[in-house]
Structure 1
């Protein structure tokens, strides 16, 4: 298959989509004037505006992620709250207890543990404030990274992050505690949760990418905290992959993408 990316193109080998394209032997064209099977709106940004070129292409060809134009944490939380009826975000001026302060923009990573309530003078409007969600009892925060491909969730990655022991002022940084082992999505999420996740992606206009999901160990509730349209997961410096697991993950994702693309293009 031939793909046209716009307004940017995934040039880094770290991007998951690059691994899939290489595995499947697909071709990327440089111009919309060339022949291609479908287009992909690719822009590493929190908020996007589709170009006239892509809107014109969409009149006769599929453009992946064309309608996913806001992946800010506020937007992600709002859509999840509309579906599930609860939110992870809090008013830090009213909330009592520990909370996580982090950028509203996508891809900034980390976060800072703070004590609430805070004063209006301390409020940062560029950030969101999330209740501290305890996800495991093993001295680390357990996060699920869920690839989503045109209505399918072929596998899920478990990621362990260091636990700052709820110390105010400490930043949470990504720190793997063990090798990354992909699991079947059905082993992690029940049927009702899978339906909710698919509904979330549809409402967000999210055709393909990866979601960051937490499960509270006290309430068992799921929280989608990030939607990533330009995910990187196969960094060549990531030494936490076991070779067989990495090969299996790329194979599974690529095969799922091709199957869903063939269905999409046959409609």
Structure 2
């Protein structure tokens, strides 16, 4: 019941992929690299997830419902530090070339926190650029960050006591218990691509992980530069979100975890 994606097969080679699929090197029981709870590749659908650093690659396993089989680029230092925690469900593979990193993208700051909405705690991400975002191909002074997101399907948020609607095709990639990327639909219906990707995986709290494992959904809010700022506590983050919403400077969407079925 193991899935090896084409991308993973291309990296580890046909021989290793076939050994996995025949069960000769399959893990049997494992700790899911996404939700960190036990799994069994002989009894439930399981994904192979290849973490790739500059010099090291580690093959890990996850519930298919948590994350699809894929290649996840991570910083070499972070990968080396994580090896000890996933040795029970990971096996080393030969060194690989460093993944290419696209340039020219706006720098987006991201903060994780729990947001209380009508008595329930929701795992949330708050996105704020480090500078004004102009429309590609233009040089004007106007910040069009929110308008660009609205054109992608984000909705204006005027009341933070309402859960944003699900944004189809978008998802949040959580692996090794940390945040790696926010994914958007690929061109022409292809595989999802990273809208935001961490240079080094972003740690999240145990409470945040617990909430997201329960809901399989993350609320993603976005605001223009200077609207939220760095907030040391979740109550201050909520106050900043409320203020941005009141000023018409907040958009939001609900996104499933990568590999989880999106709600309607």
TM-score by length of 1: 0.25
Q: Which has the higher contact order (CA 8 A, sep 6+)?
A: 1
TM-score by length of 2: 0.25
- Which one has the bigger strand percentage? 2
